[in-house]
Structure 1
C-alpha cells in the first residue's frame, strides 16, 4: 500500500527568484574532499527546495490558466445566446412592421387623420405604434450594449489565459532545468556517500541550511514527501528474517528529519545499513535513519523535532533510493517495534 503526502509550501516565490535559482552553477571546484562533500550536500538540499517551489509555482499557474480558459468558454457561450436574442428581436420587429402595414400603420399620418373615426382613435393607434417601436428599439440597444460588454470580457479573458500559458511555459522550462541540475547533483552526492560507506568511515557532519519553520513541537514523519514501500515485518530476500522498519521511497538527497526531540547516539557508515543515524528520545525509545547519503549531525548532538539530520540515499544493502526508518527499545538492532502505530499514538499518521 502506498500513500503520498506533501505539506503545502507556505511562502510563494516570485518568478525572478526562480531565474536566480536556475542561474546558480551546478558544480564548483572545491578545495578538498570535506569541503566538496559539504558543498554538494548543501547544493542538493537547496536544489531540492528550489525544484519543489518551481513545481508548486508551475502547478498554480496551470490551474489559473485553466480557470481563465473556462471563463473565456463561458463568455463565448453567453455571446452566442446574446446574438440569438438579437436575431429574435429583429424577427419580432419585422413582424410588427408587417402588422402595422396590414392594419394601416404604414399609411402616412395625413391619411390616417382623414380615415380615423375620431381624434381619440387616431391618438390611441399612434400611441400604440410609438410604444411598440420604442420597446423594440430599447431591447435592441440594450442587447447590443450587453454584447459589446461580453465581447470585451471575452477578449480580456482570452488575453489573460494566453499570458498565463506563456508564463507557464517559462516556468516549465525552469522546472525542467532545476530538475536536471538536481539529478546531476544527486548522482555526485550518492557517489561520495558510496565511497564513505565502502571505507566504513563517515566524514564530519554536513550542516544544511534549514528554514526555522521546519522545527516543530511534538512529533513528525521522518520525511515530508514520500511513498511508503516495504513495511515492518514484511518478508524478502534482502533481510535475514523479517523487515525491521518502515521504508519510505524518496529520491536521493531528500532531507531526513528527526521525528522528535532527542540526542544523537550513533553516526556510522558501512555494513547493511550503509550510512545511518540513531537518535535517543525521552521515554526510552530510539529511532534509526539508514541508507543515507549524508549526515548533518554529529554523535552526541541534541536535535529538535523536524530538524534535518541527514539526506536520504541508497548506501548499504539497498536496491534503490529510500529511507529505512526504525523504532527500537535499545540503540542496537534486534529490538525494533512497528514504527507506524508507534508514530500514530504520537499523532503522526503515515
Structure 2
C-alpha cells in the first residue's frame, strides 16, 4: 500500500531540533551526575524513534546547517553536555555516544529539547535506562598517560582515555586522501578541502572511483585530493641533489633549476585552469539548452510516482487554508530531479519543510522540493533539467516519506501557483 504522506501546517519559527540554551553561570547548565540517583532516562527504542523523526534515523548526518547527528545537536549543546569527550561533533560520534549525551540533555532540559519529535516518539523523563556502551576499550598495546606512569593498567576506559574520532572531517586540511562518509557531496568535500577546480576538479581526479554519476558517491570510497590547496601545500619541485659536485658548480646551478621549475608549475596550472573552464562551459551550455526557447521549454517530473495530496486542497492543517503544493508519495531515498534548468537559491533546513532545495528557473519561476533526506547541490550551483538535486525523505513536519513539490513566482512561501499546470506546460504528462 502506498504511503500518502503530507506535510503539516507551515510554521516558520518552529524548530524541529535539539537547539538548547545553556547559561555560562552554571544555573541553567545540567551537569552529569556521578554515582546513583534519580537520573532521567529513556530506552534505546525511544531514542531511535526521536532520531527517525529528527533525521530519518541517520546518526551520521551533517548537511552543514549547524545541527549534527541523529538527534540534531547544536555544537554548543554537544560541547556543554560533554560530547567532545567522544568526538568533536555529534555526527562523528557513535549512536551510543550520542544517546549518552542525549540522556544528559534530557536530564537537564527535559523532553522539550526536542519539541516536536519528543511528543511523536513518546519521550519522557521517566523512561528505562538505555543499554548503551558509549566508550570502548583502547586496543592492546596503546599507551595511555596513566599507563606510562604506573597507573591503572587494566585496560578500562577513563574520561581521559577518550579521544575524538579520527574521521576525515577531524583531519581536514592535512589529508591527501578523503574517505566518504554518509551525507557527503562532491561540492561539500571540494569546498571543505579547498580542492582546486571545485567539485569538477575533484570528480575528474576520481572519475574511475566514482563512476559516471558525480552526484552518486558512496560511504567508504577513498578520493584523492591531489588537486586540493587545503591538503598538504604544493611542494615546489626540488632540483636533484648535487652534493657530489664541486661548490663552485653548485653555486651557479640553483637559478637555472629554479626557473625551469617555475615554468613547469605555470604550465601545469594553465592546463588545469583550461580543463576546469571547459567543463564549466559544457555544463552551462547544457543548462542553457535545457531551459531555452520559452515557447518550447522542456521540463521533467521531479519523481516517477503517482500523485498524493493535490494542489489547493482545502484544510485547516495548512496556514493558508489550502495545500500550497502537490505531494508525491515515494520511499525515503528516491532520487529527486530538478524539473528544469536553473540556479539553486536555497539548499538546507527550512523549518516545517525539513531539508529543502529551491531552484530559480530561466523563466523566472521557482520550484521547491521539500522533506528531503539528502541534498546533492549547494547555493549558487547551476543545474540542468533532470539533474538529481537530492533524495526524498520525511524530515520536518511530515506524516510519512514523500516529496512535497511547489512552484512559486518568488523564492519564499506564499507565492505558489499550480505546479501541475506548470509541468504540463513544459510537456510533462501527469
TM-score scaled by structure 2? 0.34
Whose Rg is larger?
1
Q: TM-score, normalised by structure 1?
A: 0.42
